[in-house]
Amino acid sequence: MAMRTSRSLTRAVPYIVRSGNRIDVGIDPQQGTSLQKTINNKLFIAATDNLFREKPGNIVYLDGISCRTTKMFLEAGCPSEFLIPVNFGEAECKNLRQLAPNTKHAPFNKIISEIKNITALWYDGCKTINGNKKEKIYPIDDVSEALKYIQSPAVFAWTYCQRKGIKYNEADKLIADLLLKKGFKPHIIHHDKYANSMAFYLAVV
């Protein structure tokens, strides 16, 4: 089942400029990260839509209490049974489950092995790539584990923070090396910085 996204993507989201096979996103600084999150969602949904037409499968992503990504997928026409939002917060999962029955209430790295037939995966954790000991969250380990359970072709996205960790210029190589180590050859759709310390990476692998 096709989603209602790709044909209207550049009309619906301002500041998107296509350049070759990449999509470069500018941002109106007065609208800040809220608009950027919407743009990231639309880019991920459009990329997923393109692949979903040929390879319908589960769409796994982190989502919060406002259910923004889930709502946008549903608005785009995605069947709810393919949506698997993940969160370890009880209140967040209560909201998410009303929209997506397959919501997973657990840390990302604890449930990924249970999910089969993954078409798209988005680690939208917004943490530094390496994570930190205080929070005991290590995104690079979570992503490395998740990549064991996806098969090419698949959409892969990662939102990360550069504040005290790996910088944007270093991240391209690190992410590419991680994907290659797992047997993937990434075709980057989009990789851009926003809000000073954040970055969004999107590829078909």
Residue 110 lies in a domain: yes
Residue identified by tokens 């490395």 is 144
| Crossing angle of helices 32-52 and 68-75, rounded to 10° | 50
Residue 1 lies in a domain: no
Q: What is the pTM of this model?
A: 0.83
The CATH number assigned to the domain holding 104 equals 3.40.50.150
Please state, in angstroms and rounded to a whole number, the distance separating the CA atoms of residues 88 and 93.
7
Residue 172 lies in a domain: yes
pLDDT of residue 9: 35
Q: How many structural domains is the chain composed of?
A: 1
> How do the pLDDT tens digits run along the chain, 205 residues long?
456 544 333 333 333 333 343 444 444 444 445 788 888 999 999 999 989 988 899 999 999 999 999 999 999 999 999 999 999 889 999 999 999 999 999 888 888 899 999 999 999 887 777 777 666 777 888 899 999 999 999 999 999 887 766 667 787 788 889 999 999 999 999 888 887 788 899 999 9
Residue 6 lies in a domain: no
Q: Which of 127, 85, 90, 82 is nearest to 108 (CA)?
A: 85
Residue identified by tokens 């909201």 is 95
Residue 10 lies in a domain: no
Contact, 85 vs 61, CB < 8 A? Answer: yes
* Domain, as residue range, for 176: 15-204
Residue 116 lies in a domain: yes
Give the number of residues written for the chain. Answer: 205
pLDDT of residue 17: 36
Residue 3 lies in a domain: no
Eight-state DSSP code of residue 23: E
Residue 4 lies in a domain: no
